[in-house]
Amino acid sequence: MRKLLIVMVVCAFECATLGLSMAADNNDAILKKIDALEQQLKELKGQQQASSEKESHCMRAFGREKFCKCIAENLPREVGIEQYVHTVITPKEGLGYDALTPEQKKSVDQTLATRDKCSEKAGGGFLW
């Protein structure tokens, strides 16, 4: 009887230890998820700030609210207003488009597509 009691106590101890181990693993997974979410939040705040700066710079240059909001929302993250202007006024050959990396070509293409999209949204034309 005494051996049975000892075996039961040992089994109970093992079960408790296993439960604690599983809880610790679960906590680690939860902490990793929290860290990942915090990182995503930081990146989103950075994107929002960059978008606000683009809109502000655009308003100083062009003064068209709808157009600038569209530009700020749709330009690739790495493209500022100065680069936007340079890209849209320079022919692709002048940009050396054929020699650009695929990432750079994508950025140029997105910038030009943003110009087309936002010019249409301005309503009948940019200046009127």
Residue 73, both tokens: 């929302």
**Phi, psi dihedrals of residue 106, rounded to the nearest 5°:** -60, -40
Q: Domain count of the chain?
A: 1
Greatest CA separation for the chain = 96
DSSP 80: -
Range of the domain at 81: 25-121
Residue 89 lies in a domain: yes
The three-point CA angle 41-45-47 to 5° equals: 115
pLDDT at 112 over 90: yes
Confidence of residue 29 (pLDDT cuts 50, 70, 90): confident
How high does pLDDT run on average in the chain?
A: 81
- Give exposure, 56-68, as e/b (b: 16+ Cβ within 10 Å): ebbbeebebeebb
Residue 3 lies in a domain: no
Residue 1 lies in a domain: no
45-55: pLDDT as tens digits: 777 777 788 88
pLDDT at 108 over 90: yes
Higher confidence at residue 20 or residue 40?
Answer: 40
Prediction pTM value: 0.61
